[in-house]
Amino acid sequence: MLALAKNANMLLMFLLELGVLASVAYWGFTVSPNWGIKLLAGLGGPALFIAAWALFGAGGGANATFPLTGLARAALEIVWFGGGALALYAAGVITPAIIFAALFILNAVLRIFWNEV
């Protein structure tokens, strides 16, 4: 039963990672009435997030180019997932931003409790 809960939490983390990209893209496409800016922010924002995650956080750090551990990893996750929540907030969808942040906090607490960080 515990293994199932741990796997569900890892699935949640993966879905949150995808959620960050969707959130930043959504923000980008709502940031301006100008289509050029919408395209730049809507496609460029997620591209920057992908690059940061690939460099420092992919695969729990195992697949990252420059894997971070300890407090540096915690800071990366807070900036990454917090950025997703802030993007939703900036796009004007407050309730989904709060839910996103709460799910990240739950996920992080469970990973710490189960020593999966």
pLDDT tens digits, residue range 102-113?
999 999 999 999
Element at 54 (helix H, strand E) = helix 35-56
The whole-model pTM stands at 0.91
pLDDT per position as a tens digit, 74-112: 999 999 999 999 999 999 999 999 999 999 999 999 999
- Break the chain into its structural domains and give their ranges: 2-113
Confidence (pLDDT) at 72: 93
Query: What is the tens place of the pLDDT at every residue in 20-71?
Result: 999 999 999 999 999 999 999 999 999 999 999 999 988 776 788 899 999 9
Distance between CA atoms of 17 and 28, rounded to whole angstroms?
17
